[in-house]
Amino acid sequence: MTLNILDNLKIRYRRIRIASSLHRNDTLGALHRAWAYVYATVLPGDYYEFGVYKGTSLINSWLSQQYFHQRLERSEQLPFKRTGTVARFLAQAPTFYGFDTFNGMPDNSEGEDALAPGSFRSAIADVTRRCAVAGLHSPEVRLVPGLFSETKNQIGPNQAAIVHIDCDLYGSTVDALDAIAPRLTQGTVLLFDDYNLFRANKNQGERRALTEFTQKTGLSIEPWFAYGPAAQAFLCHR
C-alpha cells in the first residue's frame, strides 16, 4: 500500500505521542497505562474492543502495545529475558479484535437523540484502511461486523489481556460482556469508556450491565482508575 505524505506524517505523530501518553487522563492514556500494566505483570492475552467506530482507539492500543513490547525486548536489565516466562510472553503476539456493527448504533430506546440508531457509523472498509495506514494489518487485527449477540462465536481462543468496551448502551454492553466472559482471567483489564454516562445512574448503561454481570458470574471486578469525562478502568479477579 502506497502512503502519501499526510499518511506518513500521521504515523510519525502517533508514534511520537505514544511514548508520552502514560499520564494522560483520556482514552489514549488509559490504553497506554493498561499496556504498561500488561507488560509489567507479563500478562499474556489478546485485545478486545467492543465499539470501534473509526478505529482510533484500536490503532492507538496497538501502537502502545508495540511500544512496550519493543522496550521489553531491548531491556538490558532482565538477564532472564530470553528464557522462561518473559521469553514465552514476548513470543506470543496479541491479536487485536474489533467488534462493531460498522453501521452505527443498533436499534435502541436508551440513548435518545445522542445515541440514536445509525449514529456513530463508520464503514468497515474505512476502518481497515486507517489500520493499514498505521501499520496494523490482518491477521494481527480482526474486524468483526455485526451485533455482539450474533458474533460471539468470533471471539478468539486465547484469554483476554485487555477488554475495551465503548458501546454506551446497556443492551450492547450486556451482549459484549456475555461474549467475552469465557476469556476473562485473573488480572484482565476492563476499560469502560461510558461507565458514568446517564449521570452515573446505576440503573442505566454500562454501569448497570457490569453490576448485573458480576452478580450473574460471581466474578470480582476491582475499580482501578477513572479517565476521561465518564470512563472507568477495572481489574478482573477470578
Work out the pLDDT band at 104, boundaries 50, 70, 90. Answer: confident
Please choose, from the candidates 158, 163, 171, the residue with its C-alpha nearest in 3D space to the C-alpha of residue 208.
Answer: 171
Say what the pLDDT of residue 12 is. 60
Sheet holding 189-192, edge to edge: 141-145, 96-100, 46-50, 160-165, 189-192, 231-237, 220-227
Work out the pLDDT band at 181, boundaries 50, 70, 90. Answer: very high
Domains of the chain from N-terminus onward: 5-237 (3.40.50.150)
Q: Is the dihedral of CA 13, 16, 19, 25 positive or negative?
A: negative
Count of beta carbons in the 10 Å neighbourhood of residue 116: 14
Amino acid at 78: L
Say what the pLDDT of residue 117 is. 73
Distance of CA 221 to the CA centre of its chain: 17
Say what the pLDDT of residue 79 is. 55
Q: What is the pLDDT of residues 197-231, one digit of tens each?
A: 999 999 999 999 999 999 999 999 999 999 999 99
Mean pLDDT of the chain: 89
Q: What is the pLDDT of residues 30-74, one digit of tens each?
A: 999 999 999 999 999 999 999 999 999 999 999 999 999 988 888
Q: Which three cell numbers stand for residue 101?
A: 456493527
* CA atoms of 218 and 145, how far apart (whole Å): 30
Q: What is the pLDDT of residues 114-143, one digit of tens each?
A: 777 767 889 999 999 999 999 999 999 999
Say what the pLDDT of residue 65 is. 96
Count of beta carbons in the 10 Å neighbourhood of residue 125: 10
Q: Which three cell numbers stand for residue 86?
A: 518473559
DSSP-assigned beta bridge partners for residue 162: 47, 189
* CA atoms of 207 and 120, how far apart (whole Å): 21
Say what the pLDDT of residue 1 is. 47
